[in-house]
Amino acid sequence: MSKSIRANLMLLLTAMIWGVAFVAQDVAMDTMGPFFFNAVRLALGAVVLLPCIKLMDRIAIKRNPGKEVRTWLTMTKDQRRHLLTGGVVCGLALTGGIAFQQYGLIYTSPGKAGFITALYIVLVPLTGIFFKHKVRFVVWGAVALCVAGLFLLCVTETFTIGTGDLLVFFCALCFTVHILVIAHFSPHTDGVRLSCLQFMVSAVIFAVLTLLFEKPHFSDILAGWLPIVYTGVLSSGVAYTLQIIAQRDAPPTLASLLMSLESVFAVLAQWVILGYFLTGRELIGCLLMFAGIVLAQLPQRKPALKT
C-alpha cells in the first residue's frame, strides 16, 4: 500500500470518528458545561497517548536495532523546538475550533454543525495560496460544489444565518489554521508526541476557562462518562493523532476534503442515534458537498508522452 493511499484511509477513518463525535458532544451538553466537558475529554486524550508514545518508542527500537530512534532524549535542539512550538500553536488553534464548535451545538443540530465545520475545505486552499501551495483546477471545481452545498445548508430563504451557524463558522476558521499548522510542523517532529502536547495545552486552557465561567461537579463526569470516553479516547486521542500522521503524506487541500466527510458521517449519526432529519433543501446541500468531495478525489491525468 502506497503512503498516499494509507494516508487517505487514515483521514477517512478520522472523518468517521469525528462525525459520530458531533452526536457525543451534543449529548454531553445535557450533563455538563462546554468548557468542563472539553477540559476532561482533552486531558483524557493526552493521558491515553502517553503509554502509546512509550510503546511506539520500544517498537521502533526493536525494528531498528543500532539505529538512533527519535525520542525526547535523542532529539536535537531544533527537533525539540519544533515539537514544543508546534504543540503550543496546534493547541491554541484546536482550543478555538473546539470551543466555537461546542457552543454552536447549543443552537444548531449535530448534522448541520458537521457540514458547516467542513467549510475549511474552502478556507484551506484559499489560505494555502499565501503559502504557495498549488491547487489543481478540479479541486477548485470541488470547492465550488461544496460552497453551493453549504449555502443550501446554512442560509435560509430570508438570507439569514443562525447564531449556532455563525459560531460553527468561526470554528471552521480555527480548524483551517489547525490544518495548515499541522502541515507545517508534522514533517519535522513526532506525530504522536505533537498530538499529545496539543491536547495538554488545550486541556489546560479549558480547565482555566472552566474555573472562571462554570461550576463543575465530579458527578457531571459520571453522568456523561460515555460521550467523554468516546470523544476523549477516539475523537481526541485516536483521530487527531491519525490526522497528524496522515498529513505527512497528504497535501493540506486534499486532507481537508477527506476530513470534511465528517459532515456526512455526522448527518448519518444524528439520524441513526438521535432520530433527527434534514429538510429537502439541506439534503440537496449535503449531496452537493458529497459530490464535491468525490470530485476532488479523481486522479490527476498525466500528460501524454511526446514521441
Of residues 168 and 142, more confidence is placed in 168
Q: What does the pLDDT look like over 27-64, one tens digit per residue?
A: 888 889 999 999 999 999 999 888 888 777 777 677 77
Q: What does the pLDDT look like over 97-109, one tens digit per residue?
A: 999 988 888 888 7
Q: Where are the domains of the chain?
A: 3-61+91-296
Question: Is 306's pLDDT higher than 50?
Answer: no
Query: Which residue's entry shows cell 473546539?
Result: 98
Q: Are 91 and 202 in contact (CB under 8 A)?
A: yes
SS3 content of the chain, % helix, strand, coil (to 5): 75, 0, 25
d(CA 120, CA 181): 13
Here the cell at position 251 is 497535501
d(CA 31, CA 224): 6
- pTM comes to 0.78
124-140: string of b/e by CB count within 10 Å (b at 16+)?
bbebbeeeeeebbeebe
Secondary structure (3-state) at 298 = coil
Q: Please give the pLDDT value at position 201.
A: 96
Lowest mean pLDDT among 76-85, 192-201, 204-213: 76-85
